[in-house]
Amino acid sequence: MLKYKHILLYGFSLAMLLFLLKWLQLRFIIIDHAFEIYIGIIAALFTGLGIWLALKLAKPKVEKVIVEKEIYIEKGNGFTRNERALRQLNLSPRELDVLELMAAGLTNQEIAGRLFVSLNTVKTHSMNLFEKMDVARRTQAVAKARELSIIP
Amino acid sequence: MLKYKHILLYGFSLAMLLFLLKWLQLRFIIIDHAFEIYIGIIAALFTGLGIWLALKLAKPKVEKVIVEKEIYIEKGNGFTRNERALRQLNLSPRELDVLELMAAGLTNQEIAGRLFVSLNTVKTHSMNLFEKMDVARRTQAVAKARELSIIP
DNA sequence: TTCAAAATCACCCGAAAGTATGAAGGCAAT
DNA sequence: ATTGCCTTCATACTTTCGGGTGATTTTGAA
């Protein structure tokens, strides 16, 4: 739409110029060197027109400015589990259960009661999770799990 | 530098065109309507020149597109100890030391090494702090201390 | 100075936690 | 069907923890 408008304008101004030229031709025909002046005017006018056209029609260069926006995660409010770290540890669901109850301060016997399994099973799970987390004690496991945002 | 170069080029091409025009004038003087053709050529040429000049000299139109890139940053150590809760518990400095090292996952033996005291001393401190915190195990003590924001 | 709390350490004992090993059933992928 | 992992449980053993009791020394406040 806009481009056609420009082209029409261009054609119109060209026609007007031809009119102007005819008129000038009649007026300055007597003057010597009138032709050169005439050509100069035309050249200047059309150069200006070209410049104007170019400025109007030129595609603007698009420059992407990437603004880095810092977003701080509230650690106190909503706790979001670090799923990446959790996956990297490769804990089984049961082991995670045990870990969470450990973090809550329950004894192995209490954990066994909660999960409806035997004490020995809890011990096995805890052993396996200690190995996976590369720790030796439940308190260490809890501390590390907290660091990794696996538990609140 | 570059701008002057362009202007010189502009002047040169203008001179060349005048030459060309003179020649054309001689050649096509016989043809009727030659003048209009001639003007048209000039107009076209100088329009082109104007466009070329504009594109070369004009500041490139820059359209800034701001892309917001979100960077998530862990909120660094926004922990403030709950002094009220700590005072209510009435823990002695030494007991608090033991509690902190417990939370870090150390054994009583390791805590003893850190604090340059005997294992028995650490046991006594831990016993006393368990009583003051009304818990029975170190894991419970750590969990409760975290709830009360006594430790991070 | 006296007194209470804190800090230190010791010994003992039972409970809890952790280590090592084995084993059986289930389930999913190959 | 074989393999690997999860889950479950067991036995036996060691280490750590927690609880009780008692003692000495230091220190700050009355």
Tens digits of per-residue pLDDT, A122-149?
Answer: 999 999 999 999 999 999 999 999 999 8
E strands present in B18-140: 62-74
- What is the reported pLDDT for A54? 72
CA distance A139 to A144: 9
The pLDDT, as a whole number, for residue B65 is 67
Tell me what pLDDT residue A140 has.
95
Residue among A107, A139, A149 with most chain B CBs within 10 A, to mutate: A139
Cβ neighbours, 10 Å, residue B42: 19
- Closest A-chain CA to B21: A39
CB distance A73–B70 less than 8 Å?
A: no
Q: Does A2 touch chain B (CB under 8 A)?
A: no
Q: β-strands B62-74, A61-73: how paired?
A: parallel
Range with the poorest average pLDDT among A65-69, B1-5, B14-18, B38-42: B1-5
The residue behind tokens 């201390």 is B145
Q: Does A28 touch chain B (CB under 8 A)?
A: no
Evaluate if pTM is beyond 0.85: no
Burial classification of residue B85, based on how many CB atoms lie within 10 Å of its CB (0-12 exposed, 13-18 middle, 19 or more buried): middle
Question: What span, in angstroms and rounded, lies between the C-alpha atoms of B62 and A62?
Answer: 6
If you average pLDDT over residues B112-117, what whole number do you get? 94
- Provide, in whole angstroms, the distance separating residue A126's CA from nucleotide C8's C1': 35
- What is the per-residue pLDDT across A34-93, written as a single tens digit (0 to 9) for each? 666 677 777 778 777 777 777 777 666 666 666 666 555 555 556 788 888 899 899 999
Q: Is 70 exceeded by the pLDDT of residue B71?
A: no
Q: Residue B81: what pLDDT?
A: 83
Residues in chain B with CB shorter than 8 Å from the CB of A107 are 137
Cα distance between residue B39 and residue B36, in whole Å: 5
Which residue in B47, B62, B141 is closest to A50 by CB distance? B47
